[in-house]
């Protein structure tokens, strides 16, 4: 029975009658078909699935034979899905989603910590608190198979959407959502991702030694007027739009030094140390400041909102719940430790 608003394509009774049960039950073939459709070629799908191209070809040949149908048509621009293939691809995500829901319900019924947990994070969070939370989880729940992947938030969101991750630690800004890539490309709709707030991560300003503001306890955003700021402008970095809006509210337009484009905060600090400009770095990324720079807390600057993201509507398993609790506890400890470090450094006038 189709639910109201369900727009997925339907298999006609004629087609269903021709499909052997083994063809529809072979999820490996259906997932491979979806990946070929997404990637546009056997070779690209093989790389994404960690198969050989011949294995992908054999699966597609077998599926086409069982269906007694052609799945792809060759065109001057590559392969194109036939109507039969489009119908099947339209149902694969729904099938996988229901299977994940079933597994989640079974785990809940069993009331035990078992199965798998797939976690994503971004580098500074991994160093700051996620690695610690993973270690505690391993020690407490060794029976759960845990996998971890480190990447930028938009990469984790894409993997959540593809059901390759169960949860991910991500960040966003007031003018940049977690569902948007650094190039401005929309990865998914905001409604497809659920988020639990962890904490806000304010930016400090990073200055070369000898800078006129290097000995100040705090810096107001307006004091950056006329400074060359090493950062991508809006559309090239996640915090560029927030910085631009905040600077304009303070009465000036920021001067982005767009010749240096990187989202690696260690790299930005190294460039600042050469005297090419100043930059902004979030508190979480200041665990190991470059020896050639000074960091000073910034008033009214950009703030990263650090969150736990999950796929909207996906079941929350017992391992996911346990990991989320550990992340909530670990991030508070990391944030408190960093705040104490900053307070002491500010009092001593040695923050760096």
Report the DSSP beta bridge partners of residue 256.
Answer: 229
Q: Would you state the pLDDT for residue 320?
A: 94
Q: Which of 21-25, 30-34, 94-98, 270-274 has the lowest mean pLDDT?
A: 21-25
Q: Would you state the pLDDT for residue 222?
A: 92
Please determine, for residue 44, whether its predicted confidence score (pLDDT) is greater than 80: yes
User: Where is 85: in which H helix or E strand?
Assistant: helix 83-110
φ, ψ of residue 200 in degrees (nearest 5): -95, 140
Please determine, for residue 230, whether its predicted confidence score (pLDDT) is greater than 90: no
The rounded distance, in Å, linking the Cα atoms of 100 and 119 is 16
Q: Is 311 within 8 Å of 160 (Cβ atoms)?
A: yes
Please determine, for residue 6, whether its predicted confidence score (pLDDT) is greater than 50: no
Q: Would you state the pLDDT for residue 307?
A: 96
Q: What is the pLDDT of residues 295-316, one digit of tens each?
A: 999 998 999 999 999 999 999 9
Q: Would you state the pLDDT for residue 113?
A: 73
Query: pLDDT band for position 332 (50/70/90)?
Result: low
Q: Is 70 within 8 Å of 87 (Cβ atoms)?
A: no
Q: Return the half-sphere exposure (C-beta side, CA atoms, 13 A cut-off) of residue 271.
A: 22
Query: CATH 1.10.10.10 residue ranges in the chain?
Result: 13-105
φ, ψ of residue 45 in degrees (nearest 5): -65, -40
Q: Would you state the pLDDT for residue 155?
A: 92
Count Cβ atoms within 10 A of the Cβ of residue 56 and give its class: 0-12 exposed, 13-18 middle, 19 or more buried. buried
Q: What is the pLDDT of residues 167-213, one digit of tens each?
A: 999 999 998 888 888 777 888 888 899 999 999 999 999 999 999 99
Q: What is the pLDDT of residues 103-122, one digit of tens each?
A: 666 555 455 677 899 999 99
Q: Would you state the pLDDT for residue 5?
A: 40
Please determine, for residue 340, whether its predicted confidence score (pLDDT) is greater than 70: no
DSSP assignment letter at 284: G
Exposure letters 156-178 (e unless 16+ CB within 10 A, then b): bbbbbbeeebbbbbbbbbebbbb
104 closest CA partner among 309, 310, 312, 320: 320
The rounded distance, in Å, linking the Cα atoms of 116 and 128 is 24
The rounded distance, in Å, linking the Cα atoms of 174 and 246 is 11
Q: Is 109 within 8 Å of 317 (Cβ atoms)?
A: no
Q: What is the mean pLDDT of residues 10-29?
A: 50
Q: Would you state the pLDDT for residue 105?
A: 63
Instruction: Please tell me the CATH code under which domain 201-303+341-348 is placed.
Output: 3.40.190.10
Exposure letters 112-128 (e unless 16+ CB within 10 A, then b): ebebebbbbbbbbbbbb
At the top level of CATH, the class of 13-105 is: mainly alpha
Q: Which residue has the higher pLDDT, 245 or 231?
A: 245
51 closest CA partner among 71, 29, 70: 29
255: left (phi over 0), alpha (psi -120 to 50) or beta: beta
User: Where is 118: in which H helix or E strand?
Assistant: strand 116-121
Six-digit token string for 207: 């200055």
Q: Which of 82-96, 250-264, 283-297, 325-339 has the lowest mean pLDDT?
A: 325-339
Q: Would you state the pLDDT for residue 108?
A: 59
Six-digit token string for 339: 């705040």
Secondary structure class of 349 (helix, strand, coil): coil
At the top level of CATH, the class of 114-199+305-337 is: alpha beta
Six-digit token string for 316: 């929350």
Q: Would you state the pLDDT for residue 165?
A: 97
Q: Would you state the pLDDT for residue 50?
A: 86
Query: pLDDT band for position 219 (50/70/90)?
Result: very high
DSSP assignment letter at 317: -
Please determine, for residue 344, whether its predicted confidence score (pLDDT) is greater than 50: no
Please determine, for residue 349, whether its predicted confidence score (pLDDT) is greater than 50: no
Query: CATH 3.40.190.10 residue ranges in the chain?
Result: 114-199+305-337, 201-303+341-348
């Amino acid at each position: 029975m189709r639910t109201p608003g369900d727009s997925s394509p339907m298999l006609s009774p004629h087609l269903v009658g021709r499909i052997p049960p083994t063809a529809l039950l072979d999820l490996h073939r259906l997932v491979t078909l979806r990946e070929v459709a997404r990637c546009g070629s056997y070779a690209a799908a093989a790389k994404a699935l960690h198969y050989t191209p011949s294995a992908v070809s054999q699966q597609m040949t077998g599926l086409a034979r069982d269906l007694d149908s052609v799945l792809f048509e060759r065109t001057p621009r590559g392969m194109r899905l036939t109507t039969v293939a489009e119908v099947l691809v339209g149902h694969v995500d729904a099938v996988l989603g229901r299977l994940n829901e079933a597994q989640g319900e079974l785990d809940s019924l069993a009331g035990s910590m078992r199965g798998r947990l797939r976690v994503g994070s971004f580098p500074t969070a991994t160093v700051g608190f996620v690695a610690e939370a993973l270690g505690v989880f391993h020690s407490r729940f060794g029976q759960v198979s845990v996998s971890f992947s480190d990447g930028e938030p938009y990469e984790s969101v894409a993997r959540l959407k593809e059901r390759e991750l169960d949860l991910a630690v991500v960040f966003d800004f007031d003018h940049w959502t977690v569902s948007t890539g650094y190039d401005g490309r929309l990865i998914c709709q905001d409604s497809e991702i659920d988020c639990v707030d962890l904490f806000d991560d304010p930016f400090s300003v990073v200055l070369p030694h000898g800078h006129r503001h290097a000995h100040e306890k705090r810096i107001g955003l307006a004091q950056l007027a006329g400074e060359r700021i090493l950062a991508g402008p809006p559309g090239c970095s996640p915090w560029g739009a927030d910085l631009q809006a905040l600077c304009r509210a303070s009465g000036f337009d920021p001067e982005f030094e767009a010749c240096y484009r990187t989202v690696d905060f260690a790299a930005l600090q190294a460039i600042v140390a050469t005297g090419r400009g100043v930059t902004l770095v979030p508190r979480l990324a200041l665990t190991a400041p470059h020896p050639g720079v000074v960091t000073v807390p910034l008033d009214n600057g950009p703030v990263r909102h650090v969150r736990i993201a999950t796929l909207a509507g996906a079941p929350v398993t017992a391992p996911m719940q346990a990991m989320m609790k550990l992340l909530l506890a670990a991030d508070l400890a990391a944030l408190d430790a960093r705040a104490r470090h900053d307070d002491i450094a500010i009092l001593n006038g040695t923050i760096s």
